[in-house]
Structure 1
Amino acid sequence: MSGALGRFRFMAYVVGVGLLALVLAMVVKYAGGEPGLMRVVGPVHGFLYAVYLVLTVDLALKARWSIKGTALVLLAGTIPFVSFYAERKVVDSVRADRAL
């Protein structure tokens, strides 16, 4: 399970940083009138979030999380900064051998 946890941790950070980049790109698009950055960051973040979803479900199945816990961790990648918090909680939970 350590491999699944490591992959999840990596993607949680990548998605968290990607989401912050997406928010910045949205500000540039709507406040600055320049949509170019959004054309690049949007699809990249979407792809990375899809990978995050797959890796989270993989870890959830191996760690035997509840559906509610799994759904909350999946949604954590949609709110800025929450994926960092969720990653910490998941690591603590998995290392303590507790289900979410």
Structure 2
Amino acid sequence: MSKLLSVFRIVALLEGVSYLLLLFIAVPIKYISEDPQYVKMLGMPHGVLFMAYVVIAIFISAYMKWNLKTLAIVLAASVIPFGTFYVEKKYLKQTPSA
């Protein structure tokens, strides 16, 4: 399960970066220069990473011994800019007691 936790850390990082790129680079370019190319280019990878983040978070919640409130925070962080970085710092650095 620790391998899945490592994968989740990577997915969380990539999901957070892709969300920031989409939100703060691609969307403004779309509306300022009327060029939706970047949204189309970043949208699909971000969507896949978002779904992977949610699924893996649900799988590792039992391993990490998260209660429903913590799981809800971890899941909500995926739709808040910089949220996945907060999850990494607050919830993923700790290791559960075996």
State the TM-score bracket (shorter-chain normalisation): 0.7 to 0.9
Q: Helix, strand or coil for the counterpart of 1:33?
A: coil
Q: Deviations over 1:40-99 (max 9, x none)?
A: 211221111001111111110222211111011011111111211111111233x2x37x
Q: Helix, strand or coil for the counterpart of 2:5?
A: helix
5+ residue gaps, structure 2, are none
- Partner of 1:22 in structure 2? 22
**Structure-to-structure mapping, 1:42-53, within 5 angstroms:** 42-53=43-54
Give the TM-score normalised by structure 1.
Answer: 0.86
Q: Distance in 1 between matches of 2:92 and 2:66?
A: 13
Q: Distance in 2 between matches of 1:48 and 1:57?
A: 14
- Partner of 2:64 in structure 1? 63
- Partner of 1:92 in structure 2? 93
Q: How many residues align?
A: 96
Q: Distance in 1 between matches of 2:33 and 2:79?
A: 23
Moved over 6 A (4+): none
Report percent identity of matched pairs. Answer: 34
Q: Please state if 1:35 is matched with 2:36.
A: yes
Give the residue type in structure 2 aligned to 1:15.
Answer: E
5+ residue gaps, structure 1, are none
Give the residue type in structure 2 aligned to 1:9.
Answer: R
Give the residue type in structure 2 aligned to 1:25.
Answer: A
Give the TM-score normalised by structure 2.
Answer: 0.87
